[in-house]
Amino acid sequence: MANTYVNAKKDLTSTAATTLYTCATATTAIVKSIIVSEDSGNADTITVTITDSDSAVFSLFKVKAVGANTTVELLTAPLVVQESEVLKVTAATADRLHVVASILEVT
């Protein structure tokens, strides 16, 4: 079993659902942190979903508020992501939010 620490980063330049992280084949990922930073001086919201291997979409955070010029830690406990599952993030407004996830991949 190998452990690899990685991070996934996105500048949300559109309001489309954006893939933040996809769990690789034969891997389980433990997401330790998802940090969202608002850098435009305007409050905004973010939605975070996870899509399973059957393409079913589950909401993790629905229209979560992020204050102007603030940083928010979304997770209060680790999140397990299984093989082929996808974390997606969607900003309400383009060019306001940055997202960074800290992840431990176990293969």
* Residue 46, token pair as written in the block: 């973010």
Confidence band, pLDDT 50/70/90 cuts, at residue 75: very high
Task: List, in order of start, the domains of the chain with CATH numbers.
Answer: 3-106 (2.60.120.340)
Give the mean model confidence (pLDDT) for residues 64-76. 98
* pLDDT tens figures, 6-49: 999 999 999 999 999 999 999 999 999 999 999 999 999 999 99
pLDDT at 1: 74
pLDDT at 99: 98
